[in-house]
Amino acid sequence: MPAKEKKSPKTIDEYIQTFPLEVQSVLQEVRKSIREVAPNASEAIRYAIPTFIQNGNLVHFAAFRNHIGFYALPSGNAKFQKELANYKMGKGSIQFPFDEPIPFALIQKIVKFRIKETSLKEKKKGTKKVKRRNNR
């Protein structure tokens, strides 16, 4: 008999349901804290992980064996370097260990920063298009 193919989650709900209950509750809290400050963002699965989208990718998050991975892109990490000093970071990634309290207020600050950042990028794109049309 052939091995069962692992079905990739299509929604954040499906993604969360693939984890043990204690991890599911943490993922739901991360999602809720993002949603509170980004009510207009849409949800999707991108790069096989939960993603909030508003004027492009806003933030991503994922569960791993020992931590929650939070991805605010390099700019999010740079802006909050002091607050993130106690966490393991990579280029654009932050690890929040399960054996420590998840800093939901900090996650919300980072998301608010990313909303402003993506909004500014979108405005710049719009002015470039107007300039190009006016130069024709």
Read off the CATH number of the domain in which 57 is found.
3.90.1150.200
Residue 32 inside a domain? The answer is yes
Residue 1 banded pLDDT, cuts 50, 70, 90: very low
Q: Which domain holds residue 20?
A: 12-134
Residue 7 inside a domain? The answer is no
**Average model confidence (pLDDT) for the chain?**
88
Q: How many domains does the chain have?
A: 1
Residue 19 inside a domain? The answer is yes
Residue 6 inside a domain? The answer is no
Residue 4 inside a domain? The answer is no
Indicate whether this model's pTM tops 0.85: no
CA-based angle 61:64:66, to the nearest 5?
Answer: 120
Asked if the model's pLDDT at residue 78 lies above 70, the reply is yes
- Per-residue pLDDT, 130: 44
What span, in angstroms and rounded, lies between the C-alpha atoms of 73 and 79?
A: 11
Residue 109 inside a domain? The answer is yes
